[in-house]
Amino acid sequence: MVKSDRRSELEAKLVAAFVSLGCLVFFVLIAAPPKPPSPKTSNTPVATSQPSIEEEPKHRIDPNDQFRSIPGLWASIDFKHHSYGPYKFYGGRKINLTLKNGEYEYDFYESRGWFSLRDVYYVDITGDQIPEAFVNLSHVECGVSCDGGADLFFIYSKNAEGKLKELFQYETGTYAYGCGLKSLTLEGEEVQIELFGRCPEPGREFPGPGKYMVKDLTQLGFLYHEKGFLSTTTKFVATDVVDVKNYKPEVHINE
């Protein structure tokens, strides 16, 4: 009788062990949550500046810093508090574009946005041994969503009496809708501008297959002649569609 009780007790322990093992296997193989799917990646190239093959120094020197020093002739002009004259929006609305502390904000019924002073360079562009002021503003406009920003460029000369003269003005398109700035080069008396998209007219849009998706490039050239700049070249370069969201344009200055 005792042996029978011990056998029954052993059988019960074995059954309990098999049940526990079965529950563990069920939990591992069936009840455990499935692995999340791998995130999808886009095959669309992203427009980025070409990295240097050599290792960059820890404190990289900006070659344009030398052109940010304010010459004595320009010491009295503060481009953070400056009137850039009338500005006309695509819809016909006009403002007097005057920066205060480097900013100008607007809020219309259909859109809102802001202008900001991005940079100022002092370079002899006209070849008279007197530096001109090359001013770069950014313009971001938002409706349902924002447009990624456009760039405005001004070149001013200044005589000994302190009078300013605007020699050049150009506005690019936006990164979201085409004709955003890829690069700008100042070389001697020439201004070279490269834009994303096909842009035969200043600020013209060139929508791609989607927002921030742009195909082809436009290369523009302007040359100083006597008292102003003349358009010299307009060249289109075929490229694949690229994603230009968050692209940082390059500015090159070659005296």
Helix/strand/coil (H/E/C) assignment for every residue in 143-203: CCCECCCEEEEEEEEECCCCCEEEEEEEECCECCCEECEEEEEEECCEEEEEEECCCCCCC
Range with lowest mean pLDDT among 33-47, 93-107, 121-135:
33-47
At residue 51, the pLDDT reads 43
- Each domain of the chain, given as residue ranges in start order, spans 63-254
Kind and range of the H or E run holding 4:
helix 2-26
**Banded pLDDT at 30 (limits 50, 70, 90):** very low
Mean model confidence pLDDT for the chain: 83
**Range 132-145 burial, b when 16+ CB lie within 10 A, else e:** bbbbbbbbbbeeee
Strand partners, 140: 114
Tokens of 4: 């029978």
DSSP 33-87: PPPPPPPP---S-B--PPPPSSPPPSSPPPGGGGGTSPPGGGTT--TTS-EEEEE
At residue 144, the pLDDT reads 84
If one compares 74 and 42, the residue with the highest pLDDT of the two is 74
At residue 237, the pLDDT reads 96
At residue 168, the pLDDT reads 96
If one compares 39 and 79, the residue with the highest pLDDT of the two is 79
Strand partners, 143: none
pTM: 0.78
pLDDT of 89 higher than 60: yes
At residue 228, the pLDDT reads 86
Out of 14-23, 64-73, 208-217, the most confident range is: 64-73
Mean pLDDT across 111-123: 96
pLDDT of 41 higher than 60: no
**Banded pLDDT at 208 (limits 50, 70, 90):** confident
Range with lowest mean pLDDT among 4-13, 98-107, 160-169:
4-13
Strand partners, 105: 114
Mean pLDDT across 202-223: 86
Measured at the CA of 193, the angle between CA 157 and CA 54, to 5 degrees, comes to 110
According to DSSP, the β-strands at 112-123 and 103-107 are antiparallel
At residue 92, the pLDDT reads 83
If one compares 48 and 162, the residue with the highest pLDDT of the two is 162
Q: 33's torsion region: left (phi>0), alpha (psi -120 to 50) or beta?
A: beta
In one letter, which amino acid is 141?
E
